[in-house]
Structure 1
Amino acid sequence: MRRGERFYRFRAKKRGGGRALPGGGRGVASPAAREAIGAVATGFREFGEELVSGDPLGWPGYPEKLARVRERTGEGESVVVGEAQVGKTPVVVVAFDFRFLGGSVGEAAGRRIVEAFERARESRRAVVSLVATGGSRMQEGMRSLVQLQRIADACVRAREEGIPHISVLRGPVTGGIWASLGSSADYIIGVRGAEVAFAGSRVRGEEATEGEAFTAAGKLRSGFVDAEAEPGEVPGLLRSAVELLRPAGGEPPAPPEVPRALGFARPPRDPWVAVMRARSPRRPRAEAYLEDYFERRVEISGDRAGGVDAGMLCGFGRRRGRTIAYAAQNGTANTAAGFRTARRLLELADRLQLPVLTLIDTPGAGNTAKDEREGVGTAIAELFCTVAGLKVPITSLVIGEGGSGGALALAAPDNLWVTPDAYFAVISPEGAAAIVEKDRSRARQVAGRMKLMPQDLVELGVVRGIARPKRRPARAIRTSYDAVRRWVVRGHSSGKEHVTKS
C-alpha cells in the first residue's frame, strides 16, 4: 500500500456465487458490472473485494452517499475485478459498475485495477476490461486523479511482459479512464451507440456539438477503436480476440508459411504483360489470400492517431493451431494512416511474440498534398524501422504491384517471395519513363529494362522464390466396369506367382 492511501474493509453481501445482478437485462451493455461479466465470461472468481474507498477530503455527505450506493448495488466499489474464462481462454476481468456513482474511479477502484493487471502478469492471462465510467471521482479530488498514472503504469508493465489487453467500451466511457485504460488497450470493441469521449456531455456543455465524434461509431471512423458491435455480437467477437491474442510462451515462433499463389500458375515472359497482370481487376486481391490462408481472423482498424486506410488490412488469424499477425495491402496507394496502422500491428505482434505475414500490393504510397500534410514519408520511415527491429520472424509475399518504397516498407529483408502475377520495381514504368525518357508513353519499353518480372527478381536475389500455385483437384477417370474388372483380375492373377507358401 502506497504511503498516504487509506482503504477500509467492506464486507459485500452474498451474491450467489457471482450471478448477475439486476441491471436492465442488457447483457454486456448493462450498467451492472456482474451482468456484463456474465454476458461474456464464465467461472468468475472475484478478488480485491476488501479494497474500498474512505473519505480522504472530508467531503460533506460523501460517507453517507457511499453507504447508500453500496446498499443499493450490493457492490463495495465501482470496479469489480476477478479471474474468469472467455470461451476456453483464462482471463483477468476488470468490470465497471455504472450504477456505483457513475462508474467513477477513486483510490480503491484504481487499486483494484492495478491489482488486476498484476494478477494478469503473474498468471500470464489477458486482461479484459468492460468499461462504463464517467471518469475520476470528484469527492476524492487529486487522490482520485492520480490513479490514472498508476493505472497507466500497470498497463505499461503488463505490455512489456507481453500481456494483451482487450477492452469493451460499454458506454458511456468518458474522462480519464478513456484516456488511460480504455484507449490504451491492444484491441478495442465499442458497443454500438455507446458514448465515447474524453469530455463527458456535462463537461462539454449544451453549446458543444453533439454527434458521431462522441460515439463508438465516430471513434471507429477516426481510427481509435478496432470494431463496433451490437451488444449481442460482442461475446463472439471478444471470444475470438482473446483466443487469438492470448499471451505467448515457450520457443520463438517459426516464420509463417508462404501462401500459395491463387492466380496464374506461371510467370509471364514479357515485362509489360507482368505489369498488366498485376494491375488486372480480375487478379486475386489481399482479401482472397487472407480467406484462403486463415481458418478465422480478427481485424484491427486505425492508426490511433485519427486515421483509417481501407487499403491496409491488418489483424490476427489462426492457421493450423497458431496465431499469425498480418498486414496486407489491398491494391491502393496507401496513406500515412495505413502505414501507421501496419506499424501498430507489427509492434503488437513483436510484444506478443507472434510471427508476421505481410502481403504486398500497392502502386506506391499516396502522393497528394493531403498525404504530405499527414506525413506519409515519416510514416513509411517509421514502418521501415519497425520491420528492421522486429524480433519475431516475418514472411512477405508480393501478390500484385510492388510499387517503390510504399511496397518495400512491408517487405521482409530476407524472406520475400512473389506470385507469378506480380512485379516489383523501383518505381512504376510510367514514372521511370517520365524521369528517364521524359515521356510517360514509353512506359512499355522502359519496363523491359527494369527487370521487374518474378523470375527477374529471383535472378537478382531480391526475392527467395516464386510462390507455388493452388493445386487443382484430380480429374475423375471415366472407364467402364468391365475394363476395371479385367484390370483387377489380371493384377490378382499375376500376383499369385509371387506368393510364397509357408
Structure 2
Amino acid sequence: MGGGARGGARPGGAGRPRGATAVAAQAPARRAVRGRAAAQRPGQGAEAGAAVNAPDPLGWPGYRDQVARARERTGGVESVSWRRTRRAVEVVFDFRFLGGSVGTATGDVVEAAFGQARAAGLPVVSRISTGGSRMQEGMLSLRQLQRVAALCARHRAAGLPHVSVLGDPTTGGLWASLGAGADYVIAVAGAQVGFAGSRVRPADDPAYTAEGQFAAGAVDLVAEPGDVDALVAAVLELLTRGDAVPAEVPRALGAEDLPADGWDAVLRARAPERPRAARYLDDYFDLRVPVNGDRAGGVDPGVLCGIGLRGERPVAFAAQTGTATTPAGFRTASRLIRLAERFALPVLTLVDTPGAANDPAAERAGVGPAIAELFTVVAESRVPVTTLVIGEGGSGGALALASPEHTWITPDAYFSVIAPELAANILKRDDVPALADDLRLRPQDLVELGVVRGIASHG
C-alpha cells in the first residue's frame, strides 16, 4: 500500500501496515491511542522532590502556619513535586496545597525536575493544577515565572520535548509559562483554563475553559481524565523517535487516468466525490494526534495539522481540506514545521485549496505576513518536507505549503498561478476552458515543466 510516483524518483520509506487508526482534533481522545500506543503508559516508582524549607521573605502574617497545615493535609512538602518515570520526568501540582500556588521553594522543585530531565535526556511532563503565583511571597513569587520560562527554554535548546497537562484549574502565570509554553498541550475536559482566575476576571465565560482554549487555538487536544495518560504516552512516542528521513509519498486514492485538457483537470479537482485530506490521512497513518491552533487566537478547520505514526516512523503533517486557507491555517502549519524541526520529524504536506482567504477579515488578520512566514519556514526547514497536491492547487495559498523540490501530484489535481476564472477576469478573456489549457495546469504539464517531480500512483 506504499505510495509511488510517475515521472520522478520515489522517496524511500517503510511500507504501511494495515489496520490504521486515526484521530481528528474534534474526536474523543481515546481514539488516538488504540492498539500498542494505548499500552505505553508512564511507569510507576515515582521520585518525590526533595524536602524544602518554606521561605517567608515578606514576613507575611500566618504564612508559615499556612504552609505547615498544607503539608499536614497533603503529605507533601510543597505545592509541586517531581518524579521520574520510565519515559519522562513528571512535574506534579497539588491544588490542595495552597491552591497549587508557586513560590520560591516551588521554583526550586521545578528547577530540580528540569535539571534531572536534562541530565537524563528525558522529556518533561507538567501535570498542572494551580491558581497562580503565591501572594504571600510577593514579587519573589511572580519572578518564578521568568525562572520557569528559562528552564523551559534550556530544555527546548537541549532538543527535549515538554508536554503539559492542564488540570482543573490552570490559571494565572503558570498557564502563561509552564502550561502554554509546552511543545504539546493537553487540557482535561471541563477544566478551568485561563490567565485570569475566577476571583479576578470580570465574569464567567466559556473562554476560560479547556474547550474554550481549544477553540481559540491555545490547546492541542481536550481529553477525558481517563484518557490522559495514554495520550501523553502516545505524544511522547511520536516526539522522541524522529529520524529526519523524507516521508513517503502517499498513494493516489482517486482517478487513475490523466485529464484530457486543462478544464477537465479543474473540474476533476473540484468534483465533490474526489478524495479529500481526511481520507488520505486515514490511509497513510496508523494513528495520529492533532496539533491545533496558531497560538495567537486562531484555528482554521480547513488545515489539519498533527503528528502521525506510519509503521514505526513518526511523520508530521499539514493538510489542506479544500477550503480557502486563513491566516490561522498558515500560522498553524508554520508552527507544525517548527515543532517537527525540533524533534527531527519529517513533514508531509497535502495541498488542496482554491487559494488563500481574501476577504477583509483575512486581510485584517495578516494573511500576507502569514503566507510569507510559511514560505520562509519551509525554505529554512532543517527537516525534509514532502508534498502531494491532492486537489486544487490555487496560487500562493497552495504554493506556501509546497516543498520547493519534493512535490508530487495526483491524477485528479491541478496547480496553477491563479484560478482560470480569475485569470480570465484579469486578462479580459471570455473562453475560460481555453485559458485553462493555456495555463498548463494539468498533472502531466506540471511534470513536463518541472514544477512537480512526478504523479502519484495507486500502488
TM-score surpassing 0.5? yes
Report the AA paired with residue 292 of structure 1: D
Alignment of 1:260-409 (within 5 A): 260-409=251-400
Name which of 236, 260, 270 aligns with 1:242: 236
**Partners of 1:256 and 1:150 in 2: how far apart?**
38
CA shift digits 1:450-470 (9 cap, x unpaired): 110001000001111011114
The answer to whether the aligner puts 1:194 opposite 2:188 as a matched pair is: no
**Partners of 2:47 and 2:394 in 1: how far apart?**
54
Q: Is the 8 A contact 2:241 2:314 kept in 1?
A: no
Specify the SS of the correspondent of 2:306. strand
Report the CA distance between 1:47 and its aligned residue.
4.6
Name which of 430, 433, 436 aligns with 1:444: 433
Report the CA distance between 1:118 and its aligned residue.
2.2
**Partners of 2:107 and 2:183 in 1: how far apart?**
20
Q: Is the 8 A contact 1:195 1:215 kept in 2?
A: yes
The aligned counterpart of 1:467 is 456
Kindly report the root-mean-square deviation, in angstroms, between the aligned alpha carbons of the 2 structures: 1.4
RCO greater where, 1 or 2, for CA within 8 Å and sep 6 or more?
2
Report the CA distance between 1:48 and its aligned residue.
3.0
Report the AA paired with residue 155 of structure 1: C
Report the AA paired with residue 402 of structure 2: A
**Partners of 1:337 and 1:327 in 2: how far apart?**
13
Report the CA distance between 1:247 and its aligned residue.
6.2
Report the CA distance between 1:40 and its aligned residue.
6.2
Report the AA paired with residue 314 of structure 1: C
Q: Is the 8 A contact 1:264 1:469 kept in 2?
A: no
The answer to whether the aligner puts 1:64 opposite 2:65 as a matched pair is: yes
The aligned counterpart of 2:409 is 418
- Structure of larger gyration radius: 1
Name which of 249, 253, 270 aligns with 2:244: 253
Report the CA distance between 1:438 and its aligned residue.
4.9
Name which of 158, 161, 165 aligns with 2:158: 161
The aligned counterpart of 1:79 is 80
Specify the SS of the correspondent of 1:317. strand
**Partners of 1:202 and 1:210 in 2: how far apart?**
10
Q: Is the 8 A contact 2:93 2:129 kept in 1?
A: yes
How many residues get paired? Answer: 420
**Partners of 1:449 and 1:117 in 2: how far apart?**
60
Report the CA distance between 1:108 and its aligned residue.
1.4
**Partners of 1:237 and 1:427 in 2: how far apart?**
42
Q: Is the 8 A contact 2:49 2:82 kept in 1?
A: yes
**Partners of 1:137 and 1:104 in 2: how far apart?**
5
CA shift digits 1:12-34 (9 cap, x unpaired): xxxxxxxxxxxxxxxxxxxxxxx
Report the AA paired with residue 305 of structure 2: C
CA shift digits 1:416-467 (9 cap, x unpaired): 100111100000011111111254xx22110010110001000001111011
**Partners of 1:213 and 1:462 in 2: how far apart?**
44
Report the CA distance between 1:54 and its aligned residue.
1.9
The aligned counterpart of 1:481 is none
CA shift digits 1:156-180 (9 cap, x unpaired): 1111222111111111111110111
The aligned counterpart of 1:224 is 218
CA shift digits 1:61-112 (9 cap, x unpaired): 1111111111111000000112114xxxx11101100000000001111121
TM-score, normalised with respect to structure 1: 0.82
**Distance of aligned partners of 1:173 and 1:462 in 2 relative to their CA distance in 1, 3 Å threshold:** same
Report the CA distance between 1:328 and its aligned residue.
0.4
Q: Is the 8 A contact 1:125 1:247 kept in 2?
A: no
Q: Is the 8 A contact 2:241 2:313 kept in 1?
A: no
Report the CA distance between 1:119 and its aligned residue.
2.0
Which moves more between the two structures, 393-402 or 154-163?
A: 154-163
Q: Is the 8 A contact 1:162 1:247 kept in 2?
A: no
Report the CA distance between 1:236 and its aligned residue.
2.5
**Partners of 1:81 and 1:290 in 2: how far apart?**
37
TM-score, normalised with respect to structure 2: 0.89
**Partners of 2:402 and 2:282 in 1: how far apart?**
21
The answer to whether the aligner puts 1:175 opposite 2:172 as a matched pair is: yes
Segments of 5+ residues of structure 1 without an aligned counterpart are 1-38, 471-502
The aligned counterpart of 2:227 is 233
Specify the SS of the correspondent of 1:240. helix
Specify the SS of the correspondent of 1:262. coil
Q: Is the 8 A contact 2:413 2:443 kept in 1?
A: yes
Q: Report % sequence identity.
A: 58
CA shift digits 1:113-138 (9 cap, x unpaired): 12222222222222111110000111
Q: Is the 8 A contact 1:106 1:143 kept in 2?
A: yes
